[in-house]
Amino acid sequence: MTQVSMTVNGKSVSGDVEGRTLLSSFLRENLSLTGTHVGCDTAQCGACVVHVNGEAVKSCNMLALEADGAEVGTIEGQANADGSLNVIQQAFQDHHGLQCGFCTPGMVMSAAALLKDNPRPTEAEIRKYLEGNLCRCTGYHNIVKAIMAASGQNVGSIAAE
């Protein structure tokens, strides 16, 4: 076992891990941050997306030891300081951007990474950015709407209901 230390949602954490321990396992099993979901475990579905040093990564496809010293952000760190939903989360609720909710943590983390680099994405840019996040319930339209709304844009123009 090797000790790994990182900052998760602004808090310093550390733990003992094996070489093979995935970042997703460390977050879920060592830190009990089970909001990061493991769906496919093959880096296809994006349910496990977290931020590492500000960039979206699939935490099931990164070793915990690779994140040693990094700033990690998970869905648990997304809400506002008073516990209320942040703008993206609220928009997902308002626009029904989820049904079963399994993919939602990854969707929200990907959306946050997108809006950091591109604060007013077009519908096409949102759909392109979400290529690595699979949702089997919504058909994506309401997720796209939510992200448009979270970026302060009119959602009336989004095609196909």
Partner 1 sequence: MYNFEFEKPSTIADAVAALGAEDAQALGGGQTLIPTLKQRLAAPSKLVSVSGIAEMKGVCVEDDGSVAVGGATTHATVASEAAGNYPALAALAGQIGDPAVRNRGTIGGSIANNDPAACYPAAVLGSGATVVTNARQIAADDFFEGMFSTALDEGEIVTSVRFPVPQAASYQKFLQPASRFALVGVYVARFADGVRVAVTGASEDGVFRWSEAEEALNKEFRADALMDLRINPANMIADLHGSKEYRAHLVGVMTKRAVEACM
Residues contributing to the site for partner 1 (CB under 8 A): 2, 18-20, 22, 41-44, 46, 49, 52, 55-58, 61-63, 65-66, 68, 110, 113-114, 129, 131-133
Q: Are 60 and 41 in contact (CB under 8 A)?
A: yes
Furthest-apart CA atoms within the chain: distance in Å: 54
Least separation, in Å, of the C-beta of 122 and partner 1? 16
Tokens of 89: 């989360």
Could you give the CA distance from residue 137 to residue 144 in angstroms, rounded to a whole number?
13
Place of tokens 């796209």: 144
Least separation, in Å, of the C-beta of 66 and partner 1? 6
Going by C-alpha positions, the residue among 32, 3, 30 that lies closest to residue 19 is 3
**Residue (81 or 124) nearer to partner 1, CB:** 124
Least separation, in Å, of the C-beta of 2 and partner 1? 7
Helix (H) or strand (E) holding 94: helix 87-94
Helix (H) or strand (E) holding 12: strand 11-17
**Residue (22 or 148) nearer to partner 1, CB:** 22
**Residue (35 or 94) nearer to partner 1, CB:** 35
**Residue (107 or 150) nearer to partner 1, CB:** 107
Least separation, in Å, of the C-beta of 52 and partner 1? 8
The residues that bridge with 22 in the sheet, in sequence order, are: 63
Least separation, in Å, of the C-beta of 135 and partner 1? 14
**Residue (16 or 96) nearer to partner 1, CB:** 16
Other Cβ atoms within 10 Å of 64 Cβ, number: 24
